[in-house]
Amino acid sequence: MPSRNIIVVGAGICGLSTAIWLRRAGHTVTLIDRDHPGAGASFGNAGLLAEWAVVPMNTPGIMRDGAKYLASRDGPLFMQWAYLPRLIPWLAKFVANATDPRTRATSASLVQLLHDSVDQHRALTKGTRAEKWIASSDFGYAYRDRAAYEADAYGWELKRAAGYIPELIEGNAVQEAEPMLARSHSCLAMLRGHGHILNPGAYMTDLCSVLQDEGGSYLRAEMRDVTLTDGRITEVITNQGTLPCDAAVLAAGIWSKPLMAKLGVKVHLEAERGYHLHFNAPNAKVRVPLMIQSGKFAVNPMEHGLRCAGLVELGSSTAPPSRAPFDQLRRKVAGVFPDLTYDSVEEWMGFRPSTPDSLPLIGEIGGSGVFAAFGHQHVGLTGGPKTGRWVADMVSGRRINADLAAFDANRFG
């Protein structure tokens, strides 16, 4: 296929990856974002390359677990109750997908997207200024005891089916492996040979520079509308002017929902409001990234501090952060790492773009020439480079050696 003029909307990991792979395919590429690269969820994520994150959020029993979490002062789920009436249609579809057959099918699709994430990130960055941010590491699930691990059997069954077999460490050996962990945690389920990002914000900045180093363009601009000619996109209209194009990619995370409305397409997308605490100059760091199962938050030893990220708040994508999730995360961190000290702590809240079937939208929307690359929920950083490669191949008319039906951008109508 000859070179085409492509506009990519959204400078998070999915948009950056798509733009870089499109440029490497020989296209003229302009990446636009209303903010700086990685300003949203791609900045504030836990930094994990979570190849093992193959268990969707809506597993069987989600109604029971959700009600229990909401009723508990220490539960990992929060709700903006004023937003609930608008959320009900999405929640109904989310719960309807929480069956065993559907969960297993979703897990298989997530395996296809995530299983080689570290390799995909390395391929994206090889020989560039961005590759220094990718670290190889093991990963551990920290449990209070063996019984808590065994209570997680359904999730581990799905992980084992994908080839992720844990090595169990128990008793005093847990603190020998991870000296920071409180004695209240006596079981570690270790997965060997994974990876993480040392500084997500700096990584996104460098990926944008890689795009420009390789001949692509970046424009700080906000998409306002599109022009369709005979049903196909010919222009992206921004607050900085009109950009002609042969095709466009929507990779704007939660903000893709109103942009899709410009095409007359309603997308079942809602925000899972995620929170993190970033501890600057900590007195110690964990040896490997961890998932603290009792608190449902991840811990990553980053180049510029210790990040603890997790919890879910369902609500508006325009409302300011809530205080309660930050306060609870502080309590949980203090309980798990009782000897942690630090110079300062940064609070952050962002929006995970979530679909009711826990899978992203990847592919062309109808025959419009507009391609979706959003809706990755908790696995945007992990799945971004492969999503970008797939979309670049679609735009270029290349054959993809994968069945992407589960990610169909038109599946919600």
Could you write out the DSSP letters of every residue in 18-38? Answer: HHHHHHHTT-EEEEEESSSTT
Indicate if 228 and 328 belong to the same structural domain. Answer: no
Domain co-membership, 286 together with 153: yes
User: Tell me, what's the pLDDT at 18?
Assistant: 98
pLDDT computed for residue 60 by the predictor = 93
Instruction: Domain count for the chain, please give it.
Output: 2
Can you give the pLDDT at residue 73?
Answer: 82
- CA distances 158 to 58, 101, 170, 221, Å, are 13, 12, 22, 42
CA distance 242 to 226: 9
Instruction: Tell me: do 19 and 86 sit in the same domain.
Output: no
Cα radius of gyration (the chain): 21
The answer to whether residue 121 is domain-embedded is: no
Q: Give the residue numbers spanning the domain of 347.
A: 54-112+133-197+269-354
Compute the CA torsion angle 75, 80, 81, 84 (nearest 10 deg): -110
Do residues 190 and 167 make contact, with C-beta atoms less than 8 angstroms apart? yes
What is the CA 30 to chain-centroid distance, rounded? 23
Low-confidence ranges of the chain (pLDDT < 50): none
Spell out the residues 6+ positions from residue 338 whose beta carbon is closer than 8 angstroms to its own: 182
* Residue 248 sits in the same domain as residue 338: no
CA–CA distance from 341 to each of 91, 284, 337 (Å)?
Answer: 40, 8, 9
Question: For residue 35, what pLDDT is reported?
Answer: 93
pLDDT of the residue at 1: 66
Which pLDDT belongs to residue 356?
Answer: 96
The terminus-to-terminus CA distance of the chain in angstroms comes to: 29
Instruction: List helix spans (H) across 262-319.
Output: none
Q: Which of 232, 215, 211, 380 lies closest to 309, judged by CA?
A: 380
Same domain, residue pair 209 and 176? no
Residue 184 sits in the same domain as residue 147? yes
Identify the CATH number of the domain in which residue 90 sits.
3.30.9.10
- The answer to whether residues 275 and 319 belong to one domain is yes
Tokens of 283: 């007195």
Judge if 104 and 244 occupy the same domain: no
* 258 in the same domain as 212: yes
- As a whole number of angstroms, the distance between CA 304 and CA 201 comes to 11
